Every structure is written in C-alpha cells, then in structure tokens.
Structure 1
Amino acid sequence: DPGDYLDDLKRWQVTQPPAAQKAAIDRHLGHWRDALAHLAELPDDDAFSEALRLAREKGLLRHAMQLFKDDAARYASVMAAYAESLSTRNLHEDAALAWLAAGEREAALSSYQEAGEWRQALALAHALGWNTEKIKKLAANLAEDMRGNMTPVHAATLHLEYLKDVDGAVALFAQAQAWRDALWTAQRFERQDLVKT
C-alpha cells in the first residue's frame, strides 16, 4: 500500500539531507550497495560508522574500499575491517596485506605468523625495529609452529639462522629427510659428531 510509505517519505524528507534520505530508502528496500554508496556521500562520522557496519554485515567491504579510496583515514578503517573479515575465514596471508594497507604493521605481522609466512613475519619484525631478543623469540615461536605443521625444513632454517641452534637444525633436516641439508649443515659448522648420529 503506497500510503504506508508516505509517512516514511515525509519523515525522511524533513529530517535528513538527500543522500541520507536515499540511503534510508535503499536500506528499507534491501538495496544494500546503493545504500552504502549514499552513506559514503555523507561527511559525518555517524554516516561512516553506519556505512562500515552495513559493509561488514552485507559483505560489501570490497565495494566500500572503492567508495572510500580517496579518504585515507576512512579507507584505512575499511581495510582494517576487511583484514578482520579475511582472518575470520583463515585467509591470513591476504589479511596481512590488508592490515599493511590499513597501516597496521603489528597486526600484519601477526597475520603473517598465523599464515606460517615466516620470512614476511621476520622481515616485518626487522622493519618495525624489534630488538634481537624479541626477533629471536618470534623465530622460536615460528619454528615451533612449523615443526607441528609438517614443515620441518623451514623450522630447521630458523633454528640455524636465527636461533644459532646447529643441533636442532640438523635434527629437523633429518626429520624432513633433507639429508643433504643435514650433512651440509653439520659439515659447515664442523659438527662431525652430528653426522655420526
């Protein structure tokens, strides 16, 4: 019944700017992309918060990226929301890239760690200016995660390069049946005792 909508139309017309009116109508009709576009036209923070909420709920974060690409602060907020969304779907490497686009390097490092992307995690730790002890602890955590995730060759590399643990590296190379790497490591560090065992 058109009469049902007249009251709504009158209320929207009196109290809101045109973009807000259009957004309210589009929300009412379930036209989510259009509602998001109209909310993006509004300069106030409440409208942006509503736009971000709508984008999260309706899976429109990629569309929101396009709408807010020219506003650095709002774009960063959209990218952070997108990174959270990717993380909940276990797309940690993609989430790390979104966190970087949002300017959240610590969160990106955590996502790289979750993804098992140890090189990127350690490179970012260095870029963040972490001290040697903190980097060593990160490397140990990454190596432990990799050992459990059936990637002992990478864990061995971390043991060797960051933890300076020749024994652990040779053992992990052997576990991975990377015999040449195990032998080369033992020879390189003059650990003949490891070759015999």
Structure 2
Amino acid sequence: MTSAWPHYKQYLRNYAQTSRKLNGVLYDMCERMPSHTDEGAIWAKVWIIGRSYASGIERHAADGLGPIVAALRGSAKWLDPGLRRLRKMAPVPSHERLPQIAVLHGRLAEEIRNHTRNGNQVRSFVSKYMHFHAPVVPIYDSVVNVQLRARDWYPWSRALSKAHPTPQGVDEAYWQHCVRIALVADDWQREGLEPTARDIDTYVYQWASEL
C-alpha cells in the first residue's frame, strides 16, 4: 500500500540529527521544574522556551517579561494541576484529549494576553510553553498551520467536520489547529505510524519547508 505520508522516516531522522537534543533540554527543564511557584524557575522557562522557538513573547510584552512571569505564578493553583493531568496522557493528540488541552490553553492565553501590548494574542507561545510541560499538547506553528489548511494538501483541510464544534472558553484558531493535528493522528494510526504531537509537527513542518 502506498503511504499518504511519504518521507516519514527520513523527516524523523532529520529531526533526530538537528533538533532532538535541543528539545530534549527543554523537556528536561520543564520536567525538573514543572510547577509555577518559583519565580526564578518561571523566568528561566519563559525566557529559554520563548527564545528557542522565536515565539515573539518579548515583543508582545509591553512592560517586559516581568508581568508575564507574575501572571504565570499567579495562575499556579489552576495551571499546575491542569498541566499535571495533561502530563499523565500519552503524547498522542487524540480527539478525546483535545477539549482538556484547548481549555487550559485558552485560559492561560487569556491570562497572559492581559499583559501584552494592545492585548495581542499569544497562542503560539502558550502552545509551545505548555507542550514542553506536557508533550501531548499540539504546538501552534504558523508554518504548520498554513500547511494543514492548504486547499491542495489534504481533503479535510478545506473545512472541519461539524462533529468538531469549537468548545466554549478556547481560542478558536488553536482549536481548529488541534483538530487538524488529531485528524493527521487518525491517519497515522491507520498506517501504523507513531502519531505523537511532536512527530506530527516535525513531519508537517519539514513537508511545508520543502514545497
């Protein structure tokens, strides 16, 4: 059978050679400092993840990163339990896991948005920040998002099914991105591939970069 996902092994080998060790450092950092009660630990995570992934969080922060760090620390009572629940999940972004992921993402994005210049949305930074704390969380990357929505890329890219309505309290753009990631995961499972959030992001990013 011809795969609908060519170059799967090659793309993952490319990732192993170029980015796996860097991301491993970020995963390890968040595993060792998972909570949001220590201000210094939060500073380290925000600065290192933000810079490593060029998320633009510093550009959006009107008064520097201090208020962002304070917002994360002030959210510890609900953020830390939420991330703990997501960490217990296998890193497969399946449809049944998306609502819990997207609700926590939406709440954190709104909290941080209160401290950005002109209320700029921070869905990309929040997705990346959450992902390194809980690998099941899909990363919102502009390159991957555009590719998943391309008209000539895959049949379901044109419109999402009515079976996936946007829940309340979530960022709609992030929710739709997550649903598309889960649809890729469905296809990968049918082909016997490994549908982790990281591997899907890696694959689609490299596909888009070669077009």
What TM bracket, shorter-length normalisation?
A: under 0.3
Q: Give the structure-1-normalised TM-score.
A: 0.25
Structure showing greater relative contact order (alpha-carbon pairs closer than 8 Å, 6 or more residues apart): 2
Higher gyration radius (CA): 1
- Structure with more helix by fraction: 1
